[in-house]
Structure 1
Amino acid sequence: MSLHTPARPARTREAAEKVPFGVSIFPALPEISDEELATIGAILQRWRGFSLAVYKDTCMKRRVAIRIRSTRSSDAAAYCELLSRSDQELDLLQKSLTIHVSQFFRNHSVFEKLRKEVIPELFAARTDHRDEPLRFWCLGCAGGEEPYSLAIMLREFFGRDIRHERVSLLATDIDDKTLQAARAAEYDEGRFKEMPVDLRERYFRQDGRLFRLVPEIRDMVAFQRGDICNPEEYVPSDLVCCRNTLIYFARPEQERILNRIADILRPDGILVLGKSEVLVGSSRGRFAPVCRTERIYRRIS
C-alpha cells in the first residue's frame, strides 16, 4: 500500500454547507482491538525493546489510532505491515506513545510552593548529608522544560545556597531523540505561557523564532536515558518530580513506581506528582501530604 495519496480537491462552498455544524470533516479514529494492540506491541518489543504491557490500553489504543490515521493506513493490519518495514514509523510511534509536551513553569503554583516552602526546608536539613549533593530528579522529562525550570528557580532564588552546597539535577526520559532536543535547549514561544517574562528575558536568547537557554542554566542539568519501568535505574534523591507521567500507566504499575520512588527517596524526601495524579495502593502509607492541592508529598517510610 502506498503512503502517498492524491491531494483532495478544494471543498466548494456548496459542499461545505452540506456538513452539519459541529460535525468533524476529518475521518474518525479507527477502533483498535486488544489483539491488534498486542501485535503492534510485539513489533515494538522486537525492534525497539519497548513494552506496552505496563501502559493503559485506552491511552495506547488512541495514540496508535492517531498514527494509523496520520499514515493513511487502511486499518491496523496495514499499519502493522508498515511498522514491520519502516524504522521511521517505529520511531514516530514510540515517540507518540511516550512523549508529552510540557511548558516552562507548568502549573506555576507548584513551583511557588516549592520555592517558598519545600526547597528552603531541603537546604536547611542538609546537616546529615553534606558529603553528598542535594539531588533533584525529574522522571519523564520530555523536552527539558521541567528540569530547566527547576534550574532557573535554583539559580534565581537559591544562588547563595547552591554556591555553598553541591546540587545535582538529573532528568531522564526513555526516548533518545527527545533527550537530544532537551540537551539542545531551543524552544518556540508556545513553551513560555506560564513563565514570567522577566525570567525568559534573563535566561534565554532569541534567535529568529526560537529561544535558546543560556549555557549557565543548561549546564546545570544532566540528561540521560532512563526507563521508569526499570527499578534498577532509579537514583537516590532528595526530591523527585514525576508529573503527568503516571497517568499513562495501569494502576498496578503506578503503585510499583510510587513504591520504588519511596525506596530511593532519602528520609523526608519530596515527591511531586501531576495535578491529575494521586497516590495509589500501598504507596499511600509511605507518603504524607505536604500540599494536597499541589500534589506534593513527603516520604515517611
Structure 2
Amino acid sequence: MEHPTLKPYLAEDFPFDFSEGAFERIRQLLRECRNFDIGSYKDKYMKRRISIRVRATRAPSAEAYSELLAGNEREIDALLKGLTIHVSQFFRNRSTFDKIRDEVLPPLVARLQCEGREEMTLWSAGCSSGEEPYSLAIILRDAFAEELKSLKVSLLATDINEGILDVAREGAYMPERLQETIPEVVARHFRPHGGKFHLAPDIRTMVEFRRGDLFDHASYCESDLILCRNVLIYFERKEQERILKGLAASLTAGGILVLGRAETLVGEIRRRFTTVCPVERIYMKNRT
C-alpha cells in the first residue's frame, strides 16, 4: 500500500484561489527579502507559479507555504527563480528570426552606415538563459560578417534574475534548447560535452549580460533594435503600457521593436510606431 506522504502532488491538489492573506504574505516576503514586487504581474500567473513551489515543498496549503518561506533564504531564491524563468530556445519561433535576418537587419544596418554611425546597439530585454541574444549574435556572425568590419555592434541582454544570467553567461545548453536550430549552425557554433552543447567563445563574448528591471526605466539603454518577446503577457495592461513607453523612449528614431506573437502594442504608444510585420509583431518607431 502506498504511504500517504509519498503520494505524488498533482496540479489539481492545489487550486489557484489562494487566500488573500497567504498571497499578500508571500508578496511581502519577496518585496522585503529580494526587492521583487509581484504586484505588477497577473495574479493568475503568479499563483500558478507559486503553486509549483507549494507542491515541490509538500506544504499542505498556501498558508503553510508562506510560513515556510519566512526565514528560508534557499526557498525564497527557489521561488524567485520559478517566478522569473521563462523557458526559451535558440531561434524560438524560427520565422521571427528569419524575418529579422532577411528583412529587418539589412535596411537597419544600411541606414546606420549611411548616417555615418559607427555603432549599432541591440537589446534583448527579459533574456532569461540567453538563447535569444545568442541567436541574434549567431545571425550577425553568419550573415553580417562583412558589415561588422566597419560597424561595431553592442548586444546587451538583461533579466531581473541574477541566477539565470549566470547560466546565460556559461553558455551551455541541453539538447532540447537547440530543437529549432538547423544542424549546420549547431555544428558551426556549438561543441557537445557532458550531455550539453557549449556555445563557442566568439559568440559568447558578443553578448553583455546585465541585471535589468523593466520597471526601472533608468536601467534602459538607447537601442536601435529591441527584442522584448513573451514578457508583456505576464503583466497587467497598465504595466504593459508603462514598459512600452520606456522601450519607445529608448529606441532611436527608425529603431525596431520586436514583441512576442501573443503580444501587441497597447494604448497611446501605438501612434509612435509603424507596423513592419503584423504576424511576427515587428514595429518601427516613427522618425517624427
| TM-score w.r.t. length of structure 2 | 0.94
Question: Is 2:132 aligned against 1:130?
Answer: no
Q: Give the corresponding residue for 1:284.
A: 270
Structure 2 distance, partners of 1:254, 1:198, is 38
SS in 2 for 1:125: helix
Q: Give the corresponding residue for 2:14.
A: 29
Moved over 6 A (4+): none
Question: Is 2:67 aligned against 1:86?
Answer: no
Indicate the larger mover: 176-185 or 65-74: 65-74
Q: CA deviation at 1:232?
A: 0.7
Question: Is 2:253 aligned against 1:231?
Answer: no
Q: Give the corresponding residue for 2:195.
A: 209
Q: Deviations over 1:222-265 (max 9, x none)?
A: 00100011111110000000000001111000011111111010
Q: CA deviation at 1:186?
A: 0.2
SS in 2 for 1:285: helix
Structure 1 distance, partners of 2:141, 2:271, is 34
Question: Is 2:107 aligned against 1:121?
Answer: yes
| Preserved CA contact (<8 Å) 1:144 1:182 | yes
Evaluate the alpha carbon distance shift between residue 26 and residue 63 of structure 1 in structure 2; reply closer, same or farther with a 3 A threshold.
closer
Structure 1 distance, partners of 2:64, 2:183, is 48
Q: Give the corresponding residue for 1:110.
A: 96
What is the root-mean-square deviation of aligned Cα atoms in Å? 1.6
> Which amino acid letter does the alignment assign opposite residue 32 of structure 2?
R
Q: CA deviation at 1:6?
A: 4.9
> Which amino acid letter does the alignment assign opposite residue 217 of structure 1?
I
> Which amino acid letter does the alignment assign opposite residue 130 of structure 1?
R
| Preserved CA contact (<8 Å) 1:29 1:66 | no
Structure 2 distance, partners of 1:86, 1:36, is 16
| Structure 1: gaps of 5 or more residues | 10-23
Structure 2 distance, partners of 1:197, 1:251, is 40
| Preserved CA contact (<8 Å) 1:189 1:211 | yes
Q: Give the corresponding residue for 1:73.
A: 59
SS in 2 for 1:135: strand
| TM-score w.r.t. length of structure 1 | 0.90
Structure 2 distance, partners of 1:199, 1:88, is 38
| Equivalence map 1:167-206=2 (5 Å) | 167-206=153-192
Q: CA deviation at 1:284?
A: 1.2
Evaluate the alpha carbon distance shift between residue 210 and residue 241 of structure 1 in structure 2; reply closer, same or farther with a 3 A threshold.
same
Structure 1 distance, partners of 2:215, 2:235, is 10
| Preserved CA contact (<8 Å) 1:32 1:65 | no
> Which amino acid letter does the alignment assign opposite residue 237 of structure 2?
R
Structure 2 distance, partners of 1:204, 1:151, is 13
Question: Identity of paired residues, percent?
Answer: 47
Question: Is 2:85 aligned against 1:99?
Answer: yes
| Equivalence map 1:267-282=2 (5 Å) | 267-282=253-268
Evaluate the alpha carbon distance shift between residue 257 and residue 25 of structure 1 in structure 2; reply closer, same or farther with a 3 A threshold.
closer
Structure 1 distance, partners of 2:11, 2:224, is 47
Q: Deviations over 1:65-98 (max 9, x none)?
A: 1211111111122111111121111011111111
Question: Is 2:255 aligned against 1:255?
Answer: no
Question: Is 2:277 aligned against 1:294?
Answer: no
Q: Deviations over 1:238-297 (max 9, x none)?
A: 000000000111100001111111101000100000011111111111111000000000
Structure 1 distance, partners of 2:12, 2:179, is 31
| Structure 2: gaps of 5 or more residues | none
| Preserved CA contact (<8 Å) 1:104 1:195 | yes
Computing the radius of gyration from Cα coordinates, the structure with the larger value is 1
Evaluate the alpha carbon distance shift between residue 49 and residue 189 of structure 1 in structure 2; reply closer, same or farther with a 3 A threshold.
same
Q: CA deviation at 1:7?
A: 3.8
